[in-house]
Amino acid sequence: MTESFRSVGISVEEKREHVLAYLSAPRGGKGAYLEEHRITRDQMSSWKSALADGDLGAGLVPRHTGSMTKRDVAEIRRLQRELERTTADLERMRTAADCLGKAIDVLREHGVASDKDESR
């Protein structure tokens, strides 16, 4: 291969995605994945250890105490999807709350009192 392997300039999120994709690769496909993405086996090993130990995001040298199984990868993927859904739900709820607040303001401007205002 004539292209050099990448060693810097990869974000934490990109490293995480590479590790998860690598671990999800079919048997016999891991070497091809590394070559396609110009990642060395040593880099991948370091990233896997860092991710398994929770050190990847902190930029710490991996402690090499953990390992990741396909079950771990599946759980991480599931949690990522759940986080995306929850974030989207939160944004919808914030938008709805903002719309309700504006509607209440319009009602008050037109002299419509709320139940709370009438009980005072």
Alpha carbon distance 119, 111 (integer Å): 15
For the whole prediction, is pTM greater than 0.75? no
Regarding whether 44 and 8 lie in a shared domain, the answer is yes
Domain range for 98: 81-120
Does residue 75 form part of some domain? no
Res 5: pLDDT: 42
Does residue 36 form part of some domain? yes
> Which of these, 18, 13, 48, lies nearest to 34 by C-alpha position?
18
| DSSP letter assigned to residue 111 | T
Per the structure, how many domains does the chain have?
A: 2
Res 53: pLDDT: 78
Does residue 74 form part of some domain? no
CB 56 within 8 A of CB 12: yes
Res 71: pLDDT: 80
Sign of torsion over alpha carbons 43, 49, 54, 58: negative
The dihedral region occupied by 3, where left means phi > 0, alpha psi between -120 and 50, and beta the remainder, is beta
Does residue 9 form part of some domain? yes
Render the burial of 101-115: b for 16+ CB within 10 Å, e for the rest: eeeeeeeeeeeeeee
Quick one: tokens of 9? 């300039």
16: exposed, middle or buried (Cβ count in 10 Å: 0-12, 13-18, 19+): middle
**pLDDT averaged per 10 residues, the chain (length 120):** 50 91 91 95 88 75 63 84 96 97 93 67
